[in-house]
Amino acid sequence: MPRFRSFISLLLVLITTFLVSCSSPEVAIPTTYTPEKIAELQVYVKPVEEAREKLEVLKKLISDQNWVDTRTWIHGPLGKLRQDMLGLSRSLLPKDQDEATRLAREVFGHLERLDASAKDRSLSAAGVQYAEALKDYDAFLNLIPKAS
Ligand code: ZN
């Protein structure tokens, strides 16, 4: 079946050509942060960094077992953090976007479970969710390039 074989080899040539043309894109995707890009990011970084103080307040409310204010604090002062973190994720280089988005969602998953724990007045569950939220928040900030 020579005809079939030549068809296969033609197909292989086509696939190889396609792969080669795909692997050498004309516009290179940036993989490092330029000082300009870092400066541009600051407008998004600032509100996310400022949330640390609000997280400290939250810690105090939990240890005081002030469940009403804990829940108000999550939905009020910390309510905008989700949007700020996701906005910052989208402004990062493509190589960091997925991880940043994942961590932003993690933080909010924990804050939602913390809200549920506060509703149940469970100090131990709230403490666990708070610690996890803080850990993911710190990991998120570690992804953000610093001006040198
Ligand atoms: Zn987590």
pLDDT (tens digit per residue) in 114-123: 999 999 999 9
Residue 16 inside a domain? The answer is no
Please check whether residue 20 lies inside any domain of the structure: no
CA of 107 from ligand 1 middle (Å) equals: 6
Domain encompassing residue 96:
34-143
Q: Domain for residue 69, yes or no?
A: yes
Amino acid at 36: E
Q: Is residue 110 part of a domain?
A: yes
Mean pLDDT of the 106-119 span = 98
Residue 103 located in a structural domain: yes
**Is 27 within a domain?**
no
Q: How far, in Å, from the CA of 140 to the mean position of ligand 1?
A: 11
In a domain, 74, yes or no: yes
Count CA atoms within 13 Å of residue 136 on its CB side. Answer: 21
Residue 43 CA, distance from chain mean position: 17
Tens-digit pLDDT profile for residues 120-136:
999 999 999 999 999 99
- CATH code (residue 75): 1.20.120.290
Output the pLDDT for position 147.
74
| Cα-to-centroid distance, 106 and ligand 1 (Å) | 5
Do residues 114 and 130 touch, judged by C-beta distance below 8 A?
A: yes
Read off the pTM: 0.79
Residue 92 DSSP SS3: coil
How many domains does the structure of the chain reveal? 1
Tell me the pLDDT tens digit for each residue of 20-57. Answer: 666 655 677 888 999 999 999 999 999 999 999 999 99
How far does residue 50's CA lie from ligand 1's centre (Å)? 20
Tell me whether residue 6 is in a domain.
Answer: no
